[in-house]
A and B are shown apart, each in its own frame.
Chain A
Amino acid sequence: MEEKQTLICDKCKVEMAEYEVQFSYLNRSFRHKVPRCPQCGQVYIPEELAGGRMSEVEKLLEDK
């Protein structure tokens, strides 16, 4: 299994952790857990999420 990568918020120099983020698209809102900086709240969206689940949800909402 791939080793879990550590991510650091470059502004606060603290390790990022999973927190909920609110997303919105086509007049609908939803929440999902992604890495965020516990201090400033900076969000990190990994490529796999953007190209995977997020893209699927975008397609679903566009067709709904």
Chain B
Amino acid sequence: MEKYYKQYDTCRQNEKPFCSVACPFHIDVMDFQAKMANSNYNAAFKTFRNAVGFPDIVAALCPEYCASACPRGELDQSVQLNLLEKTCVAKATKKDPTDYNVPLKDRRIAIIGAGTSGLACAVRLTQKKYHVTIYEKTDRVGGKLWDMLPPELFLEDIKRQFQFEKYALHFNTEIKNIDEIRSEGFEAIYIATGKNGFDFGAMNRENGHCLIDDGIAVFAGGSLTGKDQVGALADGLDMAWSIEVFLKTGRLEYPENPAPCKAVTDPDKLIKTEGVIPTDNGLFSDEEAAAEAGRCIRCQCDACMKYCDVYAYHNKWPMKVRDDIMVTVAFSTSPSMLKKTPAKRLMNTCTRCGLCNEVCPENIEIGGMLLEARRYLHKQDTMPGAYHQFWVRDMEFTNSAFAALARKAPGQGKCTYAFFPGCQLGAADPQYVLEPYQWLLSKKQDTGLMIRCCGLPAEWAGNEEMHDKEIAVIRREWEQLGKPVLILACTSCRKHLMEYLPEIETISLYEVLDQWGFEAKTRKQEGMTYSIFDPCSARHMKTTAQAVRNLAGQLGISPEELPKGDKHGCCGYGGQGSIANPNYTAYVAKSRIELSENPYITYCINCRDIFKEEGKPVLHILDLLFDISEENTKLPDVTERRRNRIELKETLLTEIWGEKMAKKKELCKFKLVYGPEVKGKLNKQKILEEDLCEVIEFGESSKRRTFNPQKGTFTCYRELGCVTYWVEYRPAGEGYEILSAYTHRMKIELEGVWNGRKTDTDLR
């Protein structure tokens, strides 16, 4: 976990944008622009004033250092930040500073020179209630401002900013030597004597323009050190910071300059928009200000927010997500320390598509961190059991004797290749496995078969122990077959096996079809337009992606590419987060569907199922090649998927090996009848007919059930794993009619103990 935590050290989330780096005041541009865009001038003014000290003066003098840094400059016109500032100071109505009721500090600071820099330093320090004395050799404040601005403008601003502060100001007092004021008890002195002024020997020292003279810190800044008027003002504010640091720590330090902005400008946001021309006497109207603020594309590294579904859906920035994960994991290890687990659901939504570290300029991988966090939850038994129970049971069923198969081809002693279709292909329709396998046999007689789940559900559930066992079984079966090259139909299985069983050589079914000379039976879709949706797990399987395109081309389809190619996330199936957060998976599926209006061709059965469920016209490439299902073919429900798996094994044994299935499992002990409404409900809640039968069997045998005389129905329940299943039913002929079924995750406690004695011992 530490490893994943540390990778965020280089996250650019808090990086300042280009303009802010160039600005001597490092204004919080994001905040300022957001407020200007909402015509919230008073709030924008506050942001501006907090950054610059004297807002009216700076708005009037600002030479727009930011303009040359703005990425808009090269496209149309830099954002006119100075005009926005001018509009802001003109339109703000609450311009007085805040009067903090804080007692004066007994720390004395001298400022030599009442020009812009000296005043800026003084305003900051007096606002922090330091005891400030200003010495000015002339008889007025403002210095060079008298030559640059109308006196009423800057004098008004100075008066306003100092209105609540106490300070001493000595006119006509020229200080030429520190000794003149040494007896005043100053701890720090700021020399702002202007261009060619006295520097008291503070200039160009080891640490910059500063020194410690007999315990007194002396800083030189402003025009004295060659800055222009605005730079000198900013310098005054910085020196106030340095003086405060000295008073607190005794060290001579300067504020750090922000690191250069490394954000990659987002071309989607940088759309040519000419600068707004002000029509309100050289200032922007409300609409114009909002439009100009809207031209600012808020340069900030947001690659993850844009591409990663986890960040985008939760609308949380990377640091926040990292911290939430750490808090949740910390809870798992020591519940007494922290009471919250804010990321429990979030960490179960990641689809494991792997896009996060590919789009991040610093390659920060949140996916790995989330998977590690799931493992923590599992180990500490704080993972909500229902999140993954269905999927893990589904995997166990696929790998049971009723559905799994690992065989050499009939009559073959060796096995050069073996077809590994994955768990969901045969569940969707047995033909998806039967047809390609028969074709493979026709091409290479010694192609074996391995039907089982690759173990991904165990990994996604964070169950390492179970996952290791699954991987070990695959390795053993593969060795027993004679270490064949595995032909995989599912790119997720392939990616998974490549990671955990690198010793196994794999190839995708689609490459094999392309290379071994597949000829399609029909060309029904000839001339039609489809977009190819590459599954997220195939992002680095370029030859597979090409093979699918070749196959589609063979069928007379000219496949179109999605606007961002394969730089998109998962369809929503990955990570199996649909139970943890169904809204999230629906959001992900919808985002992928909207990538193109064209119907899709995909080569992952999960993508096909998810998109179809959401109403998108979509076909699996095997549909086109072997004419298996149509766009309007209905998807099987959860129970039918299990039946399909059994049927697949049975058919394979009969048709390929001429055998009968040794042990045929009856999925359901009873004959169940129910209408389409109940069927939909069962499928949505992922309740299997097997589950219903188990509940009914218990109710019937124990009579522990509730009778509803009005409806003539019985209701009973059974806890299966972490989920409690309830069924309302009534006997119908030889079986039962199901009226309703529902589940909950809470456990009913102590039901068997009633009135102080144990009444039932057979309750789970």
The answer to whether A23 and B745 have CB atoms under 8 Å apart is no
Q: How far is the CA of A24 from the CA of B19 in the complex (A)?
A: 55
- Given that A41-B754, A42-B751 are contacting pairs, would A7 and B708 also be in contact in the complex, using a CB cutoff of 8 Å? yes
Stretch from B336-344, B365-373, B403-411 forming part of the interface with A? B336-344
Chain A contact residues: over half helix, strand or loop, or mixed? mixed
The minimal Cβ–Cβ distance linking B104 to chain A, given in whole angstroms, is 47
Contact with B along A38-62 (1 / 0, CB 8 A): 0111111101001100110110001
Interfacial chain B residues near A17, Cβ < 8 Å: none
Contact with A50, one of B340, B382, B743, B752 (Cβ below 8 angstroms): B743
B335 contact set on A, CB distance < 8 A: 27
- Contact check, A62 vs B344: say whether CB atoms are below 8 A apart: yes
- Contact in complex: A64, B340 (CB < 8 Å): yes
Please tell me if the beta carbons of B703 and A10 are within 8 angstroms of each other in the complex.
Answer: yes
Whether B709 lies near A6 (C-beta < 8 A) is: yes
A56 to chain B, nearest CB (A): 11
Q: Which residue of A lies closest to B741 (CB)?
A: A47
Q: Interface of B with A (CB < 8 Å)? A: 335, 340-342, 344-345, 382, 384, 702-711, 714-715, 717, 726, 728, 740, 742-755, 759-760
Contacts of A16 in B (CB 8 A): 706
A and B contact pairs by CB, cutoff 8 A, 23 listed: A6-B710, A8-B707, A8-B708, A10-B703, A10-B707, A21-B751, A23-B747, A24-B749, A25-B746, A25-B747, A26-B384, A29-B749, A40-B759, A41-B752, A41-B755, A42-B704, A43-B748, A44-B706, A50-B743, A50-B744, A54-B744, A54-B746, A63-B342
Chain A contact-residue range equals 20 to 34
In the bound assembly, the distance between CA atoms of A6 and B711 in angstroms comes to 10
Q: Is the CB of A40 within 8 A of B745?
A: no
Set A51, A54, A57, A63: member contacting B345, Cβ < 8 A: A63
Instruction: Give the CA-CA distance A57 to B726 in the complex, in Å.
Output: 18
A8 vs B752: C-alpha distance when bound (angstroms): 18
A8-39 toward B: CB 8 Å interface, digit per residue (1/0)? 11110000100001111111010000010001
The 7 tightest CB contacts between A and B, nearest first, are A41-B754, A22-B749, A25-B746, A8-B707, A44-B706, A23-B746, A50-B744
A22 touches B750 (CB 8 A): yes
Cα separation A9 to B759 with both chains bound (whole Å): 14
At the interface, is chain B mostly helix, strand, loop or mixed? loop
Beyond known contacts A8-B709, A24-B749: 10 more, CB 8 A cutoff: A21-B748, A24-B747, A40-B759, A43-B751, A45-B726, A50-B743, A50-B744, A54-B744, A62-B384, A64-B340
Contact status A58-B751, CB under 8 Å? no
Tell me the smallest distance from the CB of A25 to a CB of chain B, in Å.
4
CB contacts between A and B, total, < 8 Å = 95
- Residues of A contacting B703 with CB < 8 Å? 10-11
Q: B residues within 8 A CB of A55?
A: 744
Residues from chain A with Cβ under 8 Å of B746 in the complex: 23-25, 54, 57-58
A50 to chain B, nearest CB (A): 5
Q: Note all chain B residues with C-beta closer than 8 A to A41.
A: 751-755, 759
Q: Taking each of B705, B714, B728, which has the highest tally of chain A beta carbons within 10 Å of its own beta carbon?
A: B705
Docked CA distance A7–B728 (Å): 13
**Complex Cα spacing A63 to B335, Å:** 15
Chain B residues within 8 Å of A44, by CB: 706, 715
Asked if B704 contacts A5 (CB within 8 A), the reply is: no
CA distance A10 to B341 in the complex (A): 42
Residues of the B chain whose Cβ atoms lie less than 8 Å from the Cβ of A35: 706
* Residues of B with C-beta under 8 A to A62: 344-345, 384
Question: Do A45 and B717 have beta carbons less than 8 Å apart?
Answer: yes
Residues of B within 8 A of A7 (CB): 706-708
Q: What residues of A have a CB within 8 angstroms of the CB of B726 in the complex?
A: 45, 47, 50
Check B709–A25 contact: CB distance below 8 A: no
Distance in angstroms between the alpha carbons of A42 and B702 in the assembled complex: 12
Q: For residue A42, which residue of chain B has the nearest CB? A: B704
Is there contact, CB below 8 Å, between B754 and A40?
A: yes
B703: nearest residue on chain A (CB-CB)?
Answer: A11
Residues of chain B contacted by A8 (CB below 8 angstroms): 706-709
| Alpha-carbon distance between A8 and B709 when the two chains are bound, in angstroms | 8
Q: Please give, as numbers and ranges, the residues of chain A lying within 8 Å of B752 by CB-CB distance.
A: 41
Inter-chain CA distance A16–B759, complex, in Å, is 16
Q: A18 CB to closest chain B CB, in angstroms?
A: 14
Residues of B within 8 A of A9 (CB): 706-707
User: Which chain B residues lie closer than 8 Å to A63 at the CB level?
Assistant: 342, 344-345
CB distance from A36 to the nearest CB of B (A): 8
Which residues of A sit under 8 angstroms from B711, Cβ to Cβ? 5
Contacts of B702 in A (CB 8 A): 11
Least CB separation from B339: chain A residue: A64
- Which B residues are CB-close (under 8 A) to A39? 754
Tell me the smallest distance from the CB of B706 to a CB of chain A, in Å: 4
Complex Cα spacing A25 to B719, Å: 13
Residues of A within 8 A of B745 (CB): 25, 58
**From A39, which residue of chain B is reached at the shortest CB distance?**
B754
Contacting residues, chain A, for B382 (C-beta < 8 A): 26-27
Bound-state Cα–Cα, A44 to B752, Å: 13
**Chain B residues within 8 Å of A6, by CB:** 708-710
In the bound complex, residues from chain A placing their C-beta under 8 Å from that of B384 are 26, 62
Q: How far is the CA of A11 from the CA of B702 in the complex (A)?
A: 8
CB proximity of A53 to chain B, nearest CB, Å: 10
Query: Closest residue of chain A to B751, judged by CB?
Result: A43
Residues of A within 8 A of B706 (CB): 7-10, 16, 35, 42, 44
Determine the distance from Cα of A27 to Cα of B384 in the docked complex, in whole angstroms.
10
For the complex formed, measure the closest distance between the CB of B691 and the CB atoms of chain A, giving whole angstroms: 15
State the CA gap A7–B752 with chains docked (Å): 19
A9 CA to B618 CA, complexed, in Å: 50
Distance in Å: Cβ of B712 to nearest Cβ of chain A: 11
On whether the beta carbons of A10 and B742 are closer than 8 Å, the reply is no
What chain B residues lie within 8 Å of A24 (beta carbons)? 746-747, 749
Smallest CB-CB separation from B705: which chain A residue?
A: A10
User: Looking across the interface, which residue of chain A has its beta carbon closest to that of B385?
Assistant: A26
Q: Which of A24, A25, A55 has the most CB of B within 10 A?
A: A25
Contacts known (A40-B754, A47-B740, A62-B345); A10 close to B714, Cβ less than 8 A: yes
Residues on A with C-beta less than 8 A from B728 are 47
For the complex, what is the distance from the CA of A7 to the CA of B715, rounded to whole Å? 10
In the complex, how many angstroms separate the beta carbon of A45 from the nearest chain B beta carbon?
Answer: 6
